[in-house]
């Protein structure tokens, strides 16, 4: 029944039909995560990296109320330039579709739509999580509940540093979501390689990780897996600089009363300003690094 709402790009459909590796990519990072034209340039490069490592990219969005699994060059430009593109999570999907609007998908929404298309591997920058001060605001990203219920593995550079990393990992543990780190025991912290928190498992062999994904889903263990891939050392930010910028951005957000789905785009943009663009450069590079690992994992998953 859901197929009436979905358009799958020919390149992606061909790969799915032939049981070839496909990597899902979100679109919120295009519309709400970076300024134009960096956002579109980054999206194009991420797709090329996925292809370079022998997988097919499937950037996901909603355009004129249609779910798109795989985007054209024109689609990427629209998402990068238009100001009225909605930020779409699980709760928003029915209305963005019904109203025929344009929507950029968050981690949660991308997971849902990737799952509908039969795509199991998804690359993003960082996942959402428990916000700082959540004991008072109850602000917890829908990404976490989606990870508990939807069978998609998410490659990320960790939880976005603006969040409470420790509480986010506690939430994931409660929901039975495996959290692994690539090449290290420590879970990465987005702009930096170290968070001070350990992952459940260290993974050095993507073939072994692919087998673990098969075992998880073959056993009927619902939900995804968080795969933390540390930013390359060459592009890692100084922890003191980024921590100071985050604190200042959070303070301004509280002062302006910004909350809900608007807070993450605001904080990320403010941090870019406070770090004179360094955080944006790091953000772009960590996404590229994730795309490489995600494509390699997709190949290993389809070959195992």
Helix (H) / strand (E) containing 291: helix 278-303
Q: Pick the catalytic residue: 38, 68, 160, 270?
A: 160
Is the separation of the CB atoms in 16 and 249 below 8 Å? no
pLDDT value for 41: 98
Helix (H) / strand (E) containing 202: strand 201-203
E strands, 229-272, in order: none
Give per-residue pLDDT as tens, 168-179. Answer: 999 999 999 999
Q: Pick the catalytic residue: 26, 47, 146, 236?
A: 26
Give per-residue pLDDT as tens, 60-93. Answer: 999 999 999 999 999 999 999 999 999 999 999 9
Total structural domains in the chain? 1
Note if 185 is an active site residue: no
pLDDT value for 163: 86
SS3 call for 170: helix
Model confidence band, residue 53 (pLDDT cutoffs 50, 70, 90): very high
Give per-residue burial for 88-118: e unless 16+ CB within 10 Å, then b.
bbbebbeebbeeebbbbbbbbbbbbbbbbbe
pLDDT value for 135: 64
- Cα separation of the two ends of the chain: 31
User: Which domain range does residue 43 map to?
Assistant: 2-303
Say whether the peptide bond before residue 80 is cis (omega within 30 degrees of 0). no
Helix (H) / strand (E) containing 62: strand 56-63
Mean pLDDT of 197-221: 98
Q: Mean pLDDT in the chain?
A: 94
**CB-based contacts of 194: which residues, under 8 Å, 6+ apart?**
186, 188, 239
pLDDT value for 134: 67
Mean pLDDT of 283-291: 97
Is the separation of the CB atoms in 123 and 23 below 8 Å? yes
pLDDT value for 115: 98
Measuring CA to CA, how many Å separate 163 from each of 53, 78, 203, 245? Answer: 31, 29, 24, 13
The CATH number covering residue 150 comes to 3.40.1790.10
Give per-residue pLDDT as tens, 9-31. Answer: 999 999 999 999 999 999 999 99
Give per-residue pLDDT as tens, 238-274. Answer: 999 999 998 898 889 888 988 777 877 788 889 989 9
Give burial (CB, 10 Å; 0-12/13-18/19+) of 71: buried
Model confidence band, residue 283 (pLDDT cutoffs 50, 70, 90): very high
Give per-residue pLDDT as tens, 107-164. Answer: 999 999 999 999 999 999 999 989 777 666 677 899 999 999 999 999 999 987 778 9
Q: If you search the block for the tokens 């949660």, which residue do you land on?
A: 108
Note if 26 is an active site residue: yes
Model confidence band, residue 100 (pLDDT cutoffs 50, 70, 90): very high
pLDDT value for 250: 82
């Amino acid at each position: 029944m859901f197929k009436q709402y979905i358009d799958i790009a020919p390149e992606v459909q061909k790969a799915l039909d032939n049981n070839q590796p496909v990597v899902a990519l979100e679109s919120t990072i295009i519309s709400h995560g970076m300024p134009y034209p960096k956002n579109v340039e980054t999206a194009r490069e991420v797709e090329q990296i996925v292809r370079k490592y022998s997988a097919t990219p499937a950037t996901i969005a909603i355009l004129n109320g249609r779910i798109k699994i795989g985007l054209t060059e024109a689609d990427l430009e629209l998402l990068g330039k238009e100001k009225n593109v909605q930020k779409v999570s699980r709760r928003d999907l029915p209305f963005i579709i019904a109203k025929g609007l344009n929507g950029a998908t968050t981690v949660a929404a991308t997971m849902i739509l990737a799952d509908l298309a039969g795509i199991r591997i998804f690359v993003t920058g960082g996942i959402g999580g428990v916000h700082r001060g959540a004991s008072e605001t109850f602000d917890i990203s829908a990404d976490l509940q989606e990870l508990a219920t939807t069978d998609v593995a998410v490659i990320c550079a960790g939880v976005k540093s603006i969040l409470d990393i420790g509480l986010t990992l506690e939430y994931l543990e409660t929901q039975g979501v495996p959290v692994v780190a690539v090449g290290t025991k420590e879970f990465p912290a987005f702009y930096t390689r170290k968070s001070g928190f350990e992952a459940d498992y260290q993974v050095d062999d993507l073939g072994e990780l692919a087998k673990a994904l098969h075992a998880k889903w073959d056993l009927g263990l619902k939900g995804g897996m968080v795969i933390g891939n540390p930013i390359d050392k060459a592009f890692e930010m100084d922890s003191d600089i980024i921590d100071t910028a985050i604190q200042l951005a959070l303070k301004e957000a509280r002062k302006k009363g910004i909350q809900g789905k608007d807070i993450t785009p605001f904080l990320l943009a403010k941090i870019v300003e406070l770090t004179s663009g360094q955080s944006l450069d790091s953000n772009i590079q960590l996404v590229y690094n994730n795309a490489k690992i995600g494509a390699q994992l997709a190949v290993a998953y389809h070959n195992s």
